[in-house]
Amino acid sequence: MGGSVMAVTINGTTGISLVQDGTINSAKLVADSVTSAKLADGSITTHKIADSTEVLLDATYTNGDATVTVSSTSSLSVGMNIKMSFKSRNVSSGNIIPKVGLKIASITNSTTFEMSAAAGQSGTDIPTQFTTGVTTDKLAEHVITNTKADPIDVQLAPYWVNLEYSQNGNTGHTYITNYGTKISASNGNNGPSAIAKVQGSSGHGDFLIRWVPGYFWGFSGIRVGDMAGSPHIGQPGAGSTQSNPAGFIYYQFLNNSSNNVRYITKWDGSSATTLQNASGGTNNVEWSMWRINGLTKVNDGTTTTTLQSSGDTRDYYFSNNGQGPQSCELKEAYRLTRGGA
Amino acid sequence: MDFSNYNEAVIARAAALCGYNKSVSLNSDGTLEWWGEETHPTDSEMNAQMSAAQTAFDSQVDARDDSNGALDAPDAD
């Protein structure tokens, strides 16, 4: 049928059940013709999103020109995201391409294509990454939280990060020493102090953390929370610790001289239980917490307490207790390969 | 009773004035945290000492270069 048909309404019950001949490609849809109102919520499922692909090629750029030359364009396609590869060599000044937003606008021939913007510097055989699928350009800054990050980037490690002041702490005091492994405050009872988080988190598998709590008037030691209950922990506005979140586990492994006790509590998501309140605080003694094959325990230098007898896969974060005077020195902290211990 | 208007160092001083020298702190809901101790000052006993504790705290703040009013604060450098 020749000519064109305008403003056709397809019966709302029948709809279009099949496009018989070929597919509807982007060329058949005018720009912006499919609006969000025309797609039902949840109608695009994960398996309908194309898998990401990645191609690494050496590319040659010319300052002020959008044309790029590569050995072959056969593996490239229009719309691919373009980034400098992490292997890229440096140039003396300026950026060859912007960090975000650059794409392949068109493919000219077997060795050249056009970018969506001109190069800012010239460069020959620059390692360049071309990607499809959901690229970083589609993600806002800082939306990747700890639980969504690459495990390598959130490995548990024995040093303090994300310091925040407590009890009127301020810059007039030094809280972190020993190359980042010790946090302490000695400024009177409930005097200026600080809280910090141990680098990384336990992950869902096996782990071990050892520390030496202080022996002062205030309670020293480790507090442990479930990352699932506090996914933005450590980010601006979220703080280094969130006590007793509703619906999520939270532990305290503490010690002091004034009560002279080893004090271990568990918040199960709705109520708190004292697991240990034993006379005799510890002075310069290592405590430890570990999980092997889903069995999680803590040792207070004298007694081992089982925190969960099986099936524990929580991704835990660790912080110190900020009640001064206090101290907590990290001795070691690491994730273990399941079955590796 | 809600003690959230007080600095925690003042609360520690009030407990000491009650003769209680163990650890005490402030919960997020303004109640006092006695860290599992069954024997400790009552809220009313603490409240009765808050004014004196605040005065002692303020006096120490004024006397020190670092404005630290906490009990047993070491001498400032």
- The CATH number of whichever domain residue A169 belongs to comes to 2.60.120.920
Confidence at residue A149, expressed as pLDDT on a 0 to 100 scale: 84
What percent of chain A has pLDDT above 70?
A: 83
The reply to whether A128 and A169 lie within a common domain is: no
Confidence of residue A42 (pLDDT cuts 50, 70, 90): confident
Highest mean pLDDT among A48-52, A54-58, A230-234, B40-44: B40-44
The reply to whether A195 and A272 lie within a common domain is: yes
Q: Does B63 touch chain A (CB under 8 A)?
A: no
Residue A285 included in any domain: yes
Count of alpha carbons within 13 Å of A105, Cβ hemisphere only?
Answer: 11
Confidence at residue A297, expressed as pLDDT on a 0 to 100 scale: 97
Which site among A171, A186, A189 would you substitute to test the B interface, given the most B Cβ atoms closer than 10 Å to its Cβ? Answer: A189
The A residues from 229 to 258 touching B (CB cutoff 8 Å) are 243, 254, 256, 258
Residue A151 included in any domain: yes
Q: Which of the pair, B5 or A21, is modelled with greater confidence?
A: B5
Residue B51 included in any domain: yes
ipTM of the complex: 0.96
Residue B24 included in any domain: yes
**pLDDT tops 90 at residue A144:** no
Residue A82 included in any domain: yes
Query: A323 to chain B: nearest residue by CA?
Result: B25
Q: Does A169 touch chain B (CB under 8 A)?
A: no
Query: A256 to chain B: nearest residue by CA?
Result: B23
Tell me the C-alpha distance between A123 and A150, whole Å. 31
**pLDDT tops 80 at residue A258:** yes
User: What kind and span of H or E run contains A304?
Assistant: strand A304-308
Residue A6 included in any domain: no
Q: What is the mean pLDDT of chain A?
A: 87
| Strand positions, DSSP E, A140-248 | 157-166, 176-177, 182-185, 193-199, 206-213, 220-226
Inter-chain residue contact A263 with B35, CB threshold 8 Å: yes
Q: Identify which of A188, A261, A263 has the shortest CB distance to residue B70.
A: A188
The reply to whether A92 and A217 lie within a common domain is: no
Q: Which of A103, A138, A173 is at the close of a domain?
A: A138
The reply to whether A325 and A192 lie within a common domain is: yes
Inter-chain residue contact A167 with B8, CB threshold 8 Å: yes
Confidence of residue A330 (pLDDT cuts 50, 70, 90): very high
What's the whole-model pTM score? 0.79
Lowest mean pLDDT among A96-110, A130-144, A177-191, A301-315: A130-144
Q: Identify which of A188, A254, A261 has the shortest CB distance to residue B72.
A: A188
B13 interaction partners in chain A (CB closer than 8 Å): 189
Which site among B35, B54, B59 would you substitute to test the A interface, given the most A Cβ atoms closer than 10 Å to its Cβ? Answer: B35
Q: Which of A76, A110, A138 is at the close of a domain?
A: A138
Displacement of CA A88 from its chain's centroid (Å): 25
Residues 6+ apart with CB under 8 A from A72: A57, A110, A111
Lowest mean pLDDT among A261-265, A325-329, A334-338, B15-19: A334-338
Q: What is the mean pLDDT of residues A243-259?
A: 94
Q: What is the mean pLDDT of residues A3-26?
A: 65
Confidence at residue B58, expressed as pLDDT on a 0 to 100 scale: 97
**pLDDT tops 80 at residue B20:** yes
Give phi and psi for A162, each to the nearest 5: 55, 50
Confidence at residue A18, expressed as pLDDT on a 0 to 100 scale: 66
Number of domains in chain B: 1
Q: What is the mean pLDDT of residues A83-101?
A: 66
**pLDDT tops 80 at residue A130:** yes
Confidence at residue A321, expressed as pLDDT on a 0 to 100 scale: 94
Confidence at residue A139, expressed as pLDDT on a 0 to 100 scale: 82
Q: Identify which of A217, A243, A274 has the shortest CB distance to residue B23.
A: A217
Residue A1 included in any domain: no
Q: Does B11 touch chain A (CB under 8 A)?
A: yes
Range of the domain at B29: 8-63
DSSP state string for B3-39:
-TTS-HHHHHHHHHHTT--S--EE-TTSPEE-TT-SS
A265 interaction partners in chain B (CB closer than 8 Å): 36
Confidence at residue B74, expressed as pLDDT on a 0 to 100 scale: 93
The B residues from 33 to 52 touching A (CB cutoff 8 Å) are 35-37
Inter-chain residue contact A259 with B71, CB threshold 8 Å: no
Confidence at residue A234, expressed as pLDDT on a 0 to 100 scale: 72
Q: Do the Cβ atoms of A263 and A219 come closer than 8 Å?
A: yes
Residue B69 included in any domain: no
Tell me the C-alpha distance between A284 and A113, whole Å. 66
Confidence of residue A94 (pLDDT cuts 50, 70, 90): low
Inter-chain residue contact B73 with A323, CB threshold 8 Å: no
Residue B74 included in any domain: no
Q: Which of B31, B73, B53, B77 has its CA nearest to residue A169?
A: B73
Q: Which of A122, A138, A154 is at the close of a domain?
A: A138
Range of the domain at A159: 146-336
Number of domains in chain A: 2
Find where tokens 């670092």 sit. Answer: B66
Q: Do the Cβ atoms of A127 and A84 come closer than 8 Å?
A: yes
**pLDDT tops 90 at residue A37:** no
Residues 6+ apart with CB under 8 A from A58: A70, A71, A125, A126, A127, A128
Confidence of residue B14 (pLDDT cuts 50, 70, 90): very high
Q: Which of the pair, A91 or A299, is modelled with greater confidence?
A: A299
Confidence at residue A272, expressed as pLDDT on a 0 to 100 scale: 94
Confidence of residue A198 (pLDDT cuts 50, 70, 90): very high
